[in-house]
Amino acid sequence: MAKRRGSRRPFGKEMMPGLRLQGRTAWTENATPGQDVYGETLRRGGLEEWRRWDPRRSKLGAGLVRTENEEISLLPKAGSRVLYLGAGHGTTVSHLHDIVCGADNHRGGRLVAVDLAPRCLRDLNHLARSRPGLIPLLADARKHSMIAALMPYRADWLFQDVAQASQVDIFLNACERFLRTGGLGLFSLKAASERWDGEGERALFDKVATRLSESGLELVENIELAGFEEHHMLFVCRMV
Ligand SMILES: C[S@@+](CC[C@H](N)C(=O)[O-])C[C@H]1O[C@@H](n2cnc3c(N)ncnc32)[C@H](O)[C@@H]1O
């Protein structure tokens, strides 16, 4: 059961529609007031209810705490077209939906959430019933034809967290096929999922950074997630 605290006063700082920051803690405006998604704290602030974005449960949440840039520079704006590869049970997806779509999708966003595990799709479908604008898809991120059917336009923002071998190729191919020029692509790399040449984690992260830059993407930031998620790096790239 989520802990709920009541206050009529807004708290923290409004960074953009649907997002407040209290220190480094991010809160998103709950699109389904009264319901938590993964046991996160709910809090009243002003007229709205807010959900605490737990950086220990979400790599993007951890990225928001660790980034050296403005937090909102990592996130899609209200009304964006988002493609999320490796959506899992919807922890991070739910916060993105709060921002991009909001209650009854009054912000007009579209969030296609792809995962190849049927058990994840069950949870994503359950989430989507009360979150219009969220479109779950049972598909393999490597196979573009099914995804393309739900992406008539290129995405403004793309996130990948598939934690499987060849994750760099999957990300580069997805950006090339689905991300618009100027759009942001974020990629959570799990070191242990890569083939190991005995080179060490730091060398692997450097090698991936070079590969992303050489592919023509602008590498905006590498965010070390250790402390929240061991052996992970979050790469932030812009499509040029
Ligand atoms: C670490 S979990 C994702 C957690 C999620 N991003 C979050 O923050 O809540 C990785 C997910 O990627 C999915 N996955 C792995 N390989 C995939 C592929 N080729 N295509 C789509 N999903 C994949 C797995 O089923 C798993 O649910």
Q: How far apart are CA 212 and CA 85, in angstroms?
A: 18
Could you tell which of 161, 170, 225, 229 is best to mutate to test the pocket of ligand 1, judged by most ligand atoms within 8 Å of the CB?
161
160 CA → ligand 1 middle, Å:
8
CB 101 within 8 A of CB 109: yes
Identify which of 30, 80, 82, 228 has the alpha carbon closest to the alpha carbon of residue 38: 30
120 CA: nearest ligand 1 atom? 27
Q: How far is the CA of 7 from the centre of ligand 1 (A)?
A: 36
Render 138-193 in DSSP notation, one character per residue.
E--TT-HHHHHHT-SS-EEEEEE---STTHHHHHHHHHHHHEEEEEEEEEEEEGGG
Show the tokens assigned to 173.
């191919």
Please tell me whether residue 114 adopts helix, strand or coil conformation: strand
Q: What is the pLDDT of residue 193?
A: 76
Give the predicted TM-score (pTM) of the model. Answer: 0.96
Residues of the chain with CATH 3.40.50.150: 59-238
Residue 6: what pLDDT? 61
SS3 label, residue 113: strand
Which of 120, 162, 173 has the most ligand 1 atoms within 8 A of CB, as the residue to mutate? 162
pLDDT at 46: 87
pLDDT at position 145, please?
Answer: 97
Nearest-atom index, ligand 1, CA of 89? 9
Q: Measuring from each residue's beta carbon to the nearest atom of ligand 1, which residues come in under 6 Å?
A: 58-59, 85-88, 91-92, 114-117, 120, 140-142, 161-164
Q: How far is the CA of 44 from the centre of ligand 1 (A)?
A: 32
What atom of ligand 1 comes closest to residue 114's alpha carbon? Answer: 21
Take atom 13 of ligand 1 and give the residue whose Cα is closest. Answer: 86
pLDDT in tens, the chain (240 residues): 555 566 678 899 999 999 999 999 999 999 999 999 999 999 999 899 999 999 999 999 999 999 999 999 999 999 999 999 999 999 999 999 999 999 999 999 999 999 999 999 999 999 999 999 999 999 999 999 999 999 999 999 999 999 899 999 999 999 999 999 999 999 999 988 777 667 789 999 999 999 999 999 999 999 999 999 999 999 999 999
Q: What is the CATH number of domain 59-238?
A: 3.40.50.150
Q: In angstroms, what is the span from residue 103 Cα to ligand 1's centroid?
A: 25
Rounded to whole angstroms, the Cα distance separating 199 from 175 reads 27
The torsion angles phi and psi of 189, rounded to 5 degrees, stand at -100, 125
Atom of ligand 1 nearest to the CA of 93: 9
Q: Helix, strand, coil % (nearest 5) of the chain? A: 30, 30, 40
Task: Tell me how far apart the alpha carbons of residues 202 and 231 are, in angstroms, rounded to a whole number.
Answer: 10
Nearest residue (by CA) to ligand 1, atom 27, is: 88
